[in-house]
């Protein structure tokens, strides 16, 4: 029996032919899509438990965000515009994140998930870069929230096993001098012995990977090149193989800080971290040889356009990666850098930005851009068999976008409209794993209301900013 039938939508399948089915329908049984086709063919043959009338809206795959951060959402608004990467990282993000207690991490996760759901996201990859491994309670509090959110998450378990060298320490000390009132945590606050952090991540994967009815995943996540040992990268990749997951790291977000005589991509190839289980965030300062290494090894990239613009780290060579066959998904990165966790907002800026940068309107076409938040993002996180398109046999992760707005009218091509005109708030309904988690903009998965979470987040954020010493 069909559990759920979506009717009367413009179904953007994202299948191999990128078909759009006008007046289309999707039938769902349990957690799977069992049929996709014209409403007039599908509807008469089904007796669904529940029908959702898309009413002419775009029916799209639930969006996949392959690179993001969660807890620092409470620091939104405390980021002065003229900070570069290290200034923001060491004067804002780290002090703020370390000042948060367990309840604040859970509140941040709730706020994050509500925004993500309202933006049409059904899967996100969190990079938790500030982990103190002697206490799992902040992690577990967030994983509990993700379970209740109804959407899918990958928790990237941050690994730091190398202290900064003296040159870098001096640089950070100089940068921290800008904010003398901020309570700066020690630079080595997150450094762990390699074997210890590997054992912790191994145990976390054993405990939580595949929980929440399979919606929750755990990956090893070496934070950045300069705070990871060769052995740390090797062990992270081995853990990914052992547990049949992927691993992710920030790479070449600001190559100068990585302080290597060889490129970071070449270094990662040498230590054995490149391959089909690796997803590299950023890859901004890389050259054509690096791009070839990524393609040859089947390594995926999470492009974080808005974060790169906001921190002025540069334009990643995305068109070159795409031309060379590298799988690229679009991430929102820190919500305080893109200011949202809304992929449709970022994809619009990204698609136009690369055209302007290259003085070439043909780079990153609308279909390619939309692929980067759906089918290609799913491939980048190793889930292309189950996520990213609306096809029979895939998991039922679906969003419906209301197209009945002046700024989306006329709409002859829904993919073009979704990339270049939609802003994200038009997402009306979200289904994940066959369950409705938002209908008519009302989030149904959480017991708490959006309004109550917004007011708690506002109060808590103000207190956090004061406690940390931001002005
Ligand atoms: Fe990041």
CA of 336 to the centre of ligand 1 (A): 11
Gap from CA of 93 to ligand 1 centroid (Å): 11
Identify residues whose C-beta is under 5 A from ligand 1, the ion: 127, 333
Rounded to the nearest whole angstrom, what is the distance from the C-alpha of residue 276 to the centroid of ligand 1?
Answer: 20
Q: Contact, 9 vs 24, CB < 8 A?
A: yes
Percent of the chain surpassing pLDDT 70: 99
Report how far ligand 1's centroid is from the alpha carbon of 450 (Å): 26
Distance CA 126, CA 353 (A): 25
Q: Which residues pair with 302 in a beta bridge?
A: 281, 329
Distance 9 CA to ligand 1 centre (A): 35
Q: Residue 405 Cα, ligand 1 centroid: separation in angstroms?
A: 33
> Distance, CA 335 to ligand 1 centroid (Å)?
10
Residue range 133-155: average pLDDT? 98
Residue 363 confidence class, pLDDT cut points 50, 70, 90: very high
Q: What is the mean pLDDT of residues 35-48?
A: 94
What pLDDT does 336 receive? Answer: 85
Range list of H helices, 180-304? 194-208, 230-243, 255-258, 264-271, 288-297
Q: How far is the CA of 54 from the centre of ligand 1 (A)?
A: 35
Predicted confidence band of residue 165 (pLDDT cuts 50, 70, 90): confident
What pLDDT, in 10s, does the model give residues 55-88?
Answer: 999 999 999 999 999 999 999 987 777 888 899 9
Quote the ligand 1 centre to 205 CA distance (angstroms).
21
**Are 371 and 379 spatial neighbours (Cβ–Cβ below 8 Å)?**
no
pLDDT at 296: 98
Q: How confident is the model at residue 257 (pLDDT cuts 50, 70, 90)?
A: low
31, two tokens: 């957690």
Distance 250 CA to ligand 1 centre (A): 6
Global pTM? 0.97
Tell me: pLDDT of 260 over 80. no
Ligand 1 centroid vs 68 CA: distance in angstroms?
Answer: 6
- Distance of CA 416 from the midpoint of ligand 1 (Å): 28
- What does each C-alpha distance from 40 to 19, 55, 392 come to in angstroms? 17, 14, 18
CA 253 to ligand 1 centroid distance, Å: 9
Confidence of residue 152 (pLDDT cuts 50, 70, 90): very high
To the nearest whole number, what is the mean pLDDT of the chain? Answer: 95
Query: How far, in Å, CA of 51 to CA of 160, rounded?
Result: 48
Q: Tell me, what's the pLDDT at 79?
A: 75
| Alpha helices per DSSP H over 150-189 | 166-176
Q: How confident is the model at residue 8 (pLDDT cuts 50, 70, 90)?
A: very high
């Amino acid at each position: 029996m069909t559990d759920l039938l979506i009717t009367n939508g413009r179904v953007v399948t994202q299948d191999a032919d990128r078909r759009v089915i006008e007046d289309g329908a999707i039938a769902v049984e349990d957690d799977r899509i069992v049929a996709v086709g014209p409403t007039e063919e599908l509807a008469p043959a089904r007796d669904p438990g529940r029908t959702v009338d898309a009413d002419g809206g775009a029916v799209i795959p639930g969006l996949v965000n392959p690179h993001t951060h969660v807890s620092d959402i409470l620091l939104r608004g405390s980021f002065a515009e003229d900070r570069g990467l290290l200034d923001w990282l060491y004067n804002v993000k780290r002090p703020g994140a370390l000042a948060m207690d367990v309840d604040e991490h859970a509140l941040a996760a709730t706020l994050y998930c509500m925004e993500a759901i309202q933006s049409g996201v059904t899967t996100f990859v969190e990079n938790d870069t500030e982990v103190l491994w002697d206490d799992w309670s902040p992690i577990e509090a967030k994983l509990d929230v993700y379970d209740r959110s109804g959407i899918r998450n990958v928790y990237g378990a941050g690994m730091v096993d190398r202290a900064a060298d003296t040159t870098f320490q001096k640089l950070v000390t100089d940068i921290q001098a800008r904010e003398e009132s901020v309570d700066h945590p020690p630079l080595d606050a997150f450094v762990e012995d390699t074997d210890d952090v590997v054992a912790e991540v191994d145990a976390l994967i054993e405990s939580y990977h595949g929980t929440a009815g399979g919606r929750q995943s755990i990956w090893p996540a070496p934070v950045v090149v300069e705070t990871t040992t060769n052995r740390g990268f090797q062990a992270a990749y081995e853990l990914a193989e052992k547990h049949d997951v992927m691993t992710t790291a920030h790479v070449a977000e600001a190559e100068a800080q990585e302080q290597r005589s060889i490129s970071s991509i070449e270094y990662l190839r040498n230590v054995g971290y490149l391959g089909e289980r690796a997803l590299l965030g950023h890859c901004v300062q890389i050259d054509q040889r690096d791009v070839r290494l990524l393609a040859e090894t089947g390594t995926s990239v999470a492009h974080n356009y808005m974060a790169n613009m906001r921190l002025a780290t540069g334009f990643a060579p995305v068109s070159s990666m795409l031309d060379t066959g590298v799988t690229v998904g679009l991430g929102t990165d820190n919500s305080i850098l893109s200011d949202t966790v809304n992929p449709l907002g970022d994809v619009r800026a990204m698609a136009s930005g690369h055209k302007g940068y290259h003085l070439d309107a043909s780079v990153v076409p609308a279909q390619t851009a939309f692929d980067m938040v759906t089918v290609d993002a799913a491939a980048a996180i190793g889930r292309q068999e189950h996520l990213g398109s609306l096809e029979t046999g895939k998991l039922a992760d679906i969003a419906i976008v209301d197209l009945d707005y002046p700024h989306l009218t006329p709409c002859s091509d829904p993919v073009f409209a979704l990339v270049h005109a939609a802003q994200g708030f038009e997402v009306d309904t979200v289904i994940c794993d066959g369950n409705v988690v938002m209908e008519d903009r009302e989030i149904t998965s959480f017991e708490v209301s959006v309004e109550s979470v917004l007011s708690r987040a506002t109060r808590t954020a103000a207190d956090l900013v004061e406690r940390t010493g931001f002005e």
